[in-house]
Structures are given as C-alpha cells and as structure tokens.
Chain A
Amino acid sequence: MIYRETGQFKSSYASDQAIFPIVQDRVLVLLGIAAAFVVPPLVANEYWLQAVLIPLLIYALAAIGLNLLTGYAGQVSLGTGGFMAVGAYSAFKFATSFPWLNIIVVFLLSGLIAAAVGLVFGVPSLRIKGFYLAVATLAAQFFLVWLFNKVPWFVNYASSGTITAPTRTLLGVMVTGPQASAEARYLVALGLVAVFALVAKNLVRGRVGRSWMAIRDRDIAAEIIGVRPMRTKLLAFGISSFYCGVAGAEFVFLYLGSAETLAFDINLSFLVLFMVIIGGLGSVLGSFLGAGFIVLVPIFLTNAPHLIGLPLPVALQKQIELMVFGALIIFFLIVEPNGLARLWQIAKEKLRLWPFPH
C-alpha cells in the first residue's frame, strides 16, 4: 500500500527517463545515501568500518567497472585484478613522485592510466569474442602482475617489494596512511563510489549504455543498424578499466595500507567476477549487492560458528568459503541468472501489489 505508483503520472519524457521514476524510490535512495554518509561514522565501530564497509565500497566500485564491461557490453574479462594493480601502482608512483598532488587527483590520474592500459588490452576484443576473449584477458592479468613484480621502479626500489600508501590529507583531515582514521577513509570511499555510481547510471541509461547492450545482445545486427563496434567496445574497456584502476588505488590507499602484487592476482579477478554474477550482470545496484554479499560471507563464516559454539579452524573456514562461493555461483546461474538485483526487483514488484497477491 505504501509502494503504490497510482497518481504518479509522468507528463514528460524527462521524468520517464529519470533514474528513479517512482517517487518512493527516489526518496528512499536519497535518504539511504544521506544515512550512509552520516550513520556509520557515528555509530559503527572500527571493525565494521575496516573489515566490512570500506572493502564493500571499494569492491563495489571495481564490480561496477567489471559490470559495465561484462554485464552491459558483454565482453568477458578475467583481467580485473591486473587493471586494479595498474591503478594501485600508478597511484603509488604519482603520490610518491608528486607529494603535493591532491589525493583525489592521484586517484583519478591512476584511473586514467588504467584506462589507457585497458584500451590496449581491449583491442583484441575487436576480433575475438566470448571465451577466447576471456583467455586473452588472462594475458593482461598475468603480464601486468609480472610486470609490477619484476620492475623495481614501480615499488620505488623497495627491497620488500611492497607499496605503502603515504599519508595524505583532504580538507585538513588525514585520509591515507597509517594514521588516517577509518571514518575518514570510509567517507572518501563512499564519496567516490557514489559519484562514480551516478556516472555509471548516466552512461547506461543513455546512448552509451544502449550501444553496449546492443553489442552484447546481437553484435552483428547492432553493427548493421549503425552501432560502431570498435568505438563501443573500446569505450567499454576504457571506462571499465578506469573504474577498476581507481578501485585498485583505493584498495591500497584506503583499505590495505600496503600491498604486494599477490593482492592483485587472478583470485581477485575471480572474486570481482563473482560479485558481478551474484549481484546481477547488467545492474549497477547489483554490483553493490554482489560486493556486499562477497564481503559478508567470510565474516559470517568467521562469526557464525562461534555463535553456535562450533569454532572452525582458519584453513577449514577458507575451504568452506571457496565451496560456498562456488556453489552459490552455480546456484545463482541456475535459479536467477540476473542475480540479487533481479531478486530485489521481484521483491519490489511484490511490494507494489502488497497486500494483494497479484
């Protein structure tokens, strides 16, 4: 009854094209975003911010990036980890070489570098499709990780081979580095992902999104009706890699603090792909849901057995995690290939009709 659309007529195309055409949705989302900025810094403890919320936001950004490429444009990519690595190492180089640069600018520049790399590795997509493309993106993944391992310039010749985020401030508050508070880091991550999620939404509801989806659904027919395949695919790779690059930079600067190339190996690519599949291919909301899901499962597995008095050894927990992820992937692909986002949509539809059954 509360979720009715009656009385909400759209009198212009503009209102029909809005991201949230239904007023209740719009209000809810705006309230939600406001709450996200205000509530956790006040209420959540260090653990929740550091272990759940911050990685969730960063993974969500990477998941949006991958979703744009794979979910919307239909180009399968297993190179996400590699592109995130490009962002992370670029950010490190920029931040250490130009200490006066604003940290947000550093992130954006790293994104651009990642985008350029993404364009290069996206060129094969003009000739290759489907699984072949997935394997080709593996070349990107393995090569990039090797590159950052082998060339000491990227780690500023540190013998440990790790990169560490230097302390940087924003508006006078420390946001990166060992003394930056979890609240500050959380707010930066939230701000960035909110802006980029909006940008993604804008892209997918317009010209760009449609050309991507056309290529995804029927690439030959798309070209025949006038979609330019090269431009469309390269744009997808570029923008997606930009997102993954920024996420990679945030990964080190706002979450881990320091990292080695191991953090960006193929398992990261799979992890982000899982977020996209479980959350919903072709859905920005799905990217958030999937990221949340993947972040929460290990937390659940760590804590739940304790609650029922059955503590699990760490190794076993990792193994169960793998099994759960794998099983859930299969489950979602069978039951709801459109992921959590679709389940959410179905829930909303039911809510619209409530309390009537149909």
Chain B
Amino acid sequence: MPGAVAEEIAAPGTMTGARPEPLLRVEGISVHFGAVQALSDVSLDIQRGEVVAIIGPNGAGKTTLLNVISGFYHPQRGRIIFDGEDRTDLKPFEVAELGIARTFQNVALFKGMTVLDNIMTGRLLKMRGHFLLDAIYWGPARRQELAHRAAVERVIDFLEIQAIRKTPAGRLPYGLQKRVELARALAAEPQLLLLDEPMAGMNVEEKEDMCRFVLDVHDEFGTTIALIEHDMSVVMDISDRVVVLDYGRKIAEGVPDAVRADPAVIDAYLGVAHD
C-alpha cells in the first residue's frame, strides 16, 4: 500500500531509512458476533520493546482485540502478523507457544491451585516430557520440575509474592490475584505481554506497585507490552504510544500527550453523538 511505503521512508532516526519489522502487526481486523460489529478494520503496529496502551470507552472492542491476538477469536477479515509471519488462524495454545502471554480482565486464575502452582502453569508450554516419565517422577521429570520451579521462584522474587506461595489462589485479595496473574504471564518468558486492565479495581498504592512492576518488566527483560487501561495517569506515565478505540474502530494513535489533546478522543469519552 503506497501510504505504508511513504511512512517507512519518512521515518526519522533509523539507519537505513526503513523502520524495523514490527513485532506485532494487526492488519485490518474486523470481527462481528451475529449482528454486533465488535471490531471494524482495526490496524496497528507494535514495535519491539514498546509499551503501547490501548484505551477507549467501555465496549470499544479492546478486549476483543486482545482475544483476536491471542487466537481465541478468529477475525472475519484481516490478519495478525507476529514476528514477520501470518498467525491469524492459529489456535490459542499455538499463539502462546510463539511467545505471547496474557492477563485477563476478570482475573482468570485457577482457583483450585496454590499461587505457586498457578504460576507454574505459566511454564507448562515450556515443559516438554512424556507422561510415563512423569508417572515415575524420579529422573528426568523431577529434574525438569525443579528447573522450572527455580525459574518460577525468580518471578516470585521479582514480584515480591514470596509470602503467599502456598495460599490457594481463590483466597487472595483482588490486588494480589492480579499480581499473581501477572506472575503467571511472566513465567512464560514472553516476547509480547498483553495486559487486560491490570490495575482495575486497585487502590492508589496497589496501582503504584503494579505500575512499578510493569515498568520493571519492561526495563529488565525488554518485554514488549500492550496494555488495556482506563486510568489516564497510568497511561501517561508508562506508555510510549497510545491507541484509541471507539465502537470497534481505531480513532486515534500517537504519543500520550498528542492523543490526550486529540478532539476525536475527547469526543469519544464525553459521548458526543456519532454520525
């Protein structure tokens, strides 16, 4: 498409004048459920190492977009290109195996397991093995189990949740549940982390902690992050770029300050009537 080419040439500050391949390219995604058009022709790029915030009023299609990227919904039109290859039709577990990890809007922890086991489930896609070896346990299965346990303990240290390791996940207060969910996503050592309202329902202190953790993840591991968020101050603080959705369409994109001042965005939030 001519527009895209022009964009590439004009990008400043890169060596060859062409932008590096984005880690994730969402191309013209349209999704509808029966008569409800959830997403219409949404496109966006996420570069490696970026923190992108996806914002918009309720019902704008933000979670739907994440679900499409995760492979849970398949779009009627459009493509998802991850790390240079078309991944649109992959099943969710295949998407996870590519290196995309995720948290959920309504905390989707496994209530019947302890915090430690929940985070260990994040490692499942890395655990190779045969159930017969698992049945014997002593030997290769045990070695693998302990290696993954060590990796999980590193995540637990990182997110400071050592004290609640053995607590059943269902008994945790909401803020801690969200943190455990983040730990589970991190345990997978993802390239791209999708966070669906990671700070929802938290008080100011919890939000600050969570912000700090998200930034730490980005700084220490260089993980690319896309997060859905409602709290504007959080968005301003931690994101490199902001994408705005409304009624399933992308209505604005750019650096936080620019987006905040964009009249279309203000209209969307204040609820001015659409044509």
Contacts and interface: CB of A to CB of B under 8 A. Distances in A.
Asked whether any CB of A lies within 8 Å of a CB of B in the complex, the reply is yes
Interface of A: 13-14, 17, 199, 202-203, 205-208, 210-211, 213-214, 216-218, 220-229, 235, 239, 282
Nearest to B102: A224
B146 A214 contact: no
Nearest to A12: B146
Interface string B135-169: 11100011011100110010000000000000000
B124 A224 contact: no
A217 B112 contact: yes
Determine which residue in B108, B124, B144 has the highest number of CB atoms from chain A within 10 A of its CB, and name it: B124
Given A213-B117, A217-B110, A207 B129 contact: yes
5 contacts: A202-B137, A216-B110, A217-B113, A223-B92, A224-B70
Interface stretch (B42-50, B93-101, B199-207, B254-262): B93-101
Contacts of B172: none
A214 B93 contact: no
Given A199-B136, A224-B70, 12 more contacts: A202-B137, A203-B135, A207-B134, A208-B134, A210-B113, A217-B111, A221-B108, A225-B96, A226-B122, A226-B125, A229-B93, A235-B131
Given A207-B129, A224-B96, A225-B96, A216 B112 contact: yes
Contacts of A224: 70-72, 92-93, 95-96, 102
Nearest to A210: B121
B104 interface: yes
Contacts of A203: 131, 134-135
A226 B104 CA distance: 14
B110 A206 contact: no
Contacts of B121: 210-211, 214, 222, 225, 227
A206 B145 contact: yes
Interface of B: 70-72, 91-93, 95-97, 101-102, 104, 108-113, 117, 120-122, 124-125, 127, 129, 131, 134-137, 141-142, 144-146, 149-150, 153, 184-185, 188
A14 B109 CA distance: 25
B145 A213 contact: no
Contacts of A213: 110, 112-113, 117
Contacts of A228: 93
Contacts of B93: 223-224, 226-229
Closest 4 CB pairs of A and B: A226-B125, A226-B96, A221-B108, A202-B137
Nearest to B153: A13
Q: Is the interface of B mostly helix, strand, loop or mixed?
A: helix
Contact of B102 (A205, A211, A225, A239): A225
Given A213-B113, A214-B110, A225 B125 contact: yes
A210 B117 CA distance: 7
Determine which residue in A207, A208, A213, A226 has the highest number of CB atoms from chain B within 10 A of its CB, and name it: A226
A103 B189 CA distance: 48
A215 B99 CA distance: 20
Contacts of B113: 210, 213-214, 217
A213 B136 CA distance: 20
Contacts of A229: 93
Nearest to A221: B108
B36 to A, nearest CB: 20
Nearest to B169: A217
A207 B127 contact: yes
Contact of B145 (A207, A214, A239, A282): A207
Contacts of A217: 110-113
Nearest to B144: A207
A227 B188 CA distance: 12
B149 A13 contact: yes
Contacts of B110: 213-214, 216-218, 221-222
A34 to B, nearest CB: 20
Determine which residue in B110, B129, B141 has the highest number of CB atoms from chain A within 10 A of its CB, and name it: B110
Contacts of B71: 224
A221 B109 CA distance: 8
A197 to B, nearest CB: 12
A225 B149 CA distance: 17
Determine which residue in A13, A206, A210 has the highest number of CB atoms from chain B within 10 A of its CB, and name it: A206
Given A213-B117, A217-B112, A225 B141 contact: no
Determine which residue in B92, B111, B122, B184 has the highest number of CB atoms from chain A within 10 A of its CB, and name it: B92
Contact of B124 (A207, A220, A221, A239): A207
Contacts of A282: 112
A52 to B, nearest CB: 29
A102 B229 CA distance: 65
Nearest to B122: A225
A14 B127 contact: no
A45 to B, nearest CB: 36
A206 B134 contact: yes
A214 B108 CA distance: 10
B176 to A, nearest CB: 18
Given A211-B124, A217-B112, A225-B184, A17 B92 contact: no
B112 A14 contact: no
A13 B70 contact: no
B152 to A, nearest CB: 9
A208 B134 CA distance: 7
Contacts of B134: 202-203, 206-208
Nearest to A216: B112
Contacts of A211: 121, 124
A171 to B, nearest CB: 24
Contacts of B127: 207
